[in-house]
Structure 1
Amino acid sequence: MYPNNPPPPGFHPTSPPVPNTIIVGAFHPMLGEYPAQITCPRCQRQVVTEVNYVNGTMVWIFVLVLLFIFFPLMCVPCCIDQCKDVEHFCPSCRNFIGLKKRI
């Protein structure tokens, strides 16, 4: 913790120093297109996630295909939740838990 300098006077660490850890992402096999019951990694509560549908790769692929096949229907995939990616949030602390991508 203090490689070159000694700790300041009166400093007594209660536990050994822990290196900084950054968790980039975690795999949640239970996260799908519907709310799931999990333990929130932030608040440690057993919760049923809240879901939010967002436009993802699958929506834009369908929009481009419909643009060339039948122009008036190209916005339909933006209105269908089954085409969208699903974001999961903790209802207690509003922490982002995970994302279910369609593609």
Structure 2
Amino acid sequence: MAEKSMPSDPSSVNFINNQPPPPPYQGPPPAMQPGPSGTTYVTATPVVVAPINVVRIMGSAPSSYICKSCNMNIITRTEVKPATKTHLFALLLCVLGLWPCVCVPYCVDSCQSIDHYCPNCSAYIGTAR
């Protein structure tokens, strides 16, 4: 079997569909060529910036919101429940000798936390404290 050797002259190589060879490498791209004052210019690459999620402060009343779970424009459903602050106020009233007033922090909304939920999918949205 005869061995094929590489031709010594690259111009004698036959290309597919008789296309000429690609041009030789001539150096850096035009954007990297030195400028008239010897400064090298570099092209800028685009920067992708991710959107920032803005946290919305929820109040004690139901508020309009776009639910992240079901993508619906909703009015939030609120649930009031005692928080650590509620229990601390009740303990303070008991320590001060005002034990008949211990139930007051459990009746006042400003002493409790208010959770906001989506009425469509029941997803938790946030807490107002």
TM-score scaled by structure 2?
0.54
Q: Secondary structure of the residue that 1:65 maps to in structure 2?
A: helix
Q: Secondary structure of the residue that 1:33 maps to in structure 2?
A: coil
Spell out structure 1 runs of 4+ moving beyond 3 A: none
In our comparison, the structure showing a higher alpha carbon Rg is: 2
For 2:59 and 2:71, the matched residues in 1 are separated by: 20
RMSD: 1.6
Q: Which residue of 1 aligns with 2:82?
A: 55
Asked whether the 8 Å contact 2:78–2:116 carries over to 1, the reply is: yes
For 1:68 and 1:42, the matched residues in 2 are separated by: 45
For 2:123 and 2:114, the matched residues in 1 are separated by: 15
Q: Percent identity?
A: 29
Instruction: Count matched residues.
Output: 76
For 1:94 and 1:85, the matched residues in 2 are separated by: 18
For 2:114 and 2:59, the matched residues in 1 are separated by: 7
The one-letter code of the counterpart of 2:103 is C
Unaligned runs of 5+ in 2: 1-52
Within-5 A mapping of 1:18-97 = 28-69=55-96, 70-97=98-125
TM-score scaled by structure 1?
0.67
Q: Secondary structure of the residue that 1:92 maps to in structure 2?
A: coil
The one-letter code of the counterpart of 1:33 is S
